[in-house]
Amino acid sequence: MSGGTTTKGKNKKQPENPSKMTKQTLSMEATGELAREASLDSISLQIRTLTAEIKTELQANKEEITTEMRKELSEFKRDINKLLDNMDKEIKEQTERIQDGETRTEELEQWSYDANKAIQHMLQQQKYMEDKLEDFEARARRNNLRVYGIKESKEAKPSELKDMIEGWLKKELGLEDDLQIQRVNRAQAPKPREGQTLRSIIIQFQQSKTKDMILYKAWEKKKMTFEGEGVYFDHDYTAKVLQQRKAYLPIKKKLKSMKIRFQTPYTKMRIFWEDGMKIYNNAEAAARDLKTRGCEVEGFQMAEEGIHKDKETNVKGLASWKQVGDIGTMKDRVRERLQEYELRRKKTDGGEETRGSIAQEK
């Protein structure tokens, strides 16, 4: 038994030494710590390397970006300067054109003023000559008498017409004295066709008092006939007077329908209203007065009176036209605009230089 017990004791494992185990543990921890430190150092080294690389790349990118920005700014500045130079050139050209236009406008204004003054003078002379001609023609027709209603077929030869008319007048008006007729002829117009208005006969007397006497006698008789045909007498008016008298026709028609007495001496109209007689110098005045009295004249058109006066007024308006302000006002305004533009350009150039210096510092 003892022998067996001894064997058993020899085979039993002996417990390890605690101090030895602690040393082993500490050794293992130190090894792990060293490994961690080595790992951290490696990571730190990698980070420093990466940071250095990033800094290097950033610096390179910065320099590249700065170079590109400088280049672009330089190109932009060059383009701006080129554009400004072109604008300067265009503005100078426009300024020259404006100045040339101003000069031409001033010359045209002066020419227009002189031309309108000349036209105004010519219109005045024309009006004066027209009035003189009208007066001369009226005086030339003063001794003339017109007879309307004698048919062309009743007319004798020109050489016999005078004797025929003189004999007829003496017979119709009961006259015995010599009428002193100078000439008798048809109005200067184409011979009318069947149904058209007959041409009047113009009788020229030596004295106007003879013409007036025959005319008044014919008006007093009221009804005159030539070989059974009704005829009537009137003065030998000028074309202008006839036009003025023609304007009264719609008014005459209206007054006749209203049974109102009226007269048309020369170019005027005399109307006998219930409140008294009134004289009108032209058809427009008569038509306006009829309208105020509640009598609308149908088919009446305003007579073309005062046309020459209107023309002269228009010409005076053109001739009196003047440029507003001084002649150099536009030039001063353009010069101020150019100065403002130059000032803005200088400020722009200064700003570009400042931005360029900042880019260089960076």
Question: What are phi and psi for residue 329, nearest 5 degrees?
Answer: -60, -45
- Architecture, CATH, for domain 142-236: 2-Layer Sandwich (3.30)
Please report the pLDDT score of residue 280 as a whole number.
Answer: 93
Nearest to 295 by CA among 286, 303, 304: 286
- CA 322, chain centre distance (Å): 18
Please report the pLDDT score of residue 303 as a whole number.
Answer: 46
CA pair distance 301, 250, nearest whole angstrom: 9
How many C-beta atoms lie closer than 10 Å to residue 199's C-beta?
Answer: 19
CA pair distance 208, 235, nearest whole angstrom: 11
Strands 201-205 and 181-186: what pairing?
A: antiparallel
Q: Where are the domains of the chain?
A: 29-141+333-362, 142-236
Q: What is the pLDDT along the chain (362 residues), one digit of tens a residue?
A: 444 444 444 454 455 555 666 766 767 777 777 777 788 888 888 888 888 888 888 888 888 888 888 888 888 888 898 888 888 888 989 989 898 888 888 888 899 888 999 999 999 999 999 999 999 999 999 999 999 988 876 556 766 788 888 898 998 888 888 888 989 888 888 888 877 888 899 999 999 999 999 988 888 887 888 888 888 888 999 989 989 999 999 999 999 999 999 998 888 999 999 899 999 999 999 999 988 888 888 777 654 444 445 555 555 555 455 544 444 555 566 566 666 666 666 655 554 444 444 334 44
CA pair distance 234, 147, nearest whole angstrom: 7
Sequence-distant (≥ 6) Cβ neighbours of residue 248 within 8 angstroms = 264, 269, 283, 286
Please report the pLDDT score of residue 69 as a whole number.
Answer: 85
To the question of pTM greater than 0.85 for the whole model, the response is: no
Please report the pLDDT score of residue 74 as a whole number.
Answer: 86
Burial of 152 (0-12, 13-18, 19+ CB in 10 A): exposed
